[in-house]
Amino acid sequence: MLREGALAVLGTQVPVDVRRNLMLMGRLLANLADHVVNPGRSATLLEVWHHVQTSNVINDILTATPALREWGRTPGPSGLPPLQEFMLHRSAGQIRLAHIYADTEKVLGEIADEQGRGDQVRNWFRRPGYVPESLFYLFAGRPEQIHLSSVRDRIERFRPNSEAAW
């Protein structure tokens, strides 16, 4: 595809579960569509992909086993399922990009502790464990050169009312 002129091609390094691939690609398309409606958050396709890839870790973990999937969707003491509790309240400021899986496990473990299920949930992380499928993808080519907004839009985002400079 690159030889035929594509700027970038997204693929996987190993076979991945088609259901998880569907979720990840759906999230990529939803984020791209959101950028069309609300431009300015990301300048390039690669930036959108990095956001989708790093924010999908919770799905990698909670869809690993039926037990984790069920636990992640069952309302806890707060009235919210752990997945929503994590996304809406707990993950903000707690996830470091260099430690995204470990930090996500830590926050989920804290939620499980409050339910009295911390040891059980942490055991599920390890046995049978999960596969970090979001990391198996890579872009070939130059996705950083696929701009989602114009230079004018990006300047306006950082310097409102700069129209006079054009």
Domain ranges within the chain, ordered by starting residue: 1-58+135-166, 65-129
State the pLDDT at residue 35: 85
Contact residues for 102 (Cβ-Cβ < 8 A; gap 6+): none
| Digit-coded pLDDT (tens) for 141-151 | 999 988 887 66
Global pTM value: 0.76
Query: Which amino acid is it at 63?
Result: T
Could you give the CA distance from residue 150 to residue 137 in angstroms, rounded to a whole number? 27
Q: Please determine, for residue 164, whether its predicted confidence score (pLDDT) is greater than 60.
A: no
Nearest to 147 by CA among 1, 8, 4, 5: 8
* Owner of token pair 């791209």: 32
State the pLDDT at residue 19: 81
Report the mean per-residue pLDDT for the chain.
88
| Digit-coded pLDDT (tens) for 50-77 | 989 888 899 999 988 999 999 999 999 9
Could you give the CA distance from residue 54 to residue 23 in angstroms, rounded to a whole number? 14
Question: Terminus-to-terminus CA distance in the chain, angstroms?
Answer: 37
Give the lowest-confidence range in 9-23, 68-82, 144-158: 144-158
Could you give the CA distance from residue 93 to residue 62 in angstroms, rounded to a whole number? 20
**pLDDT confidence band for 97 (50 / 70 / 90):** confident
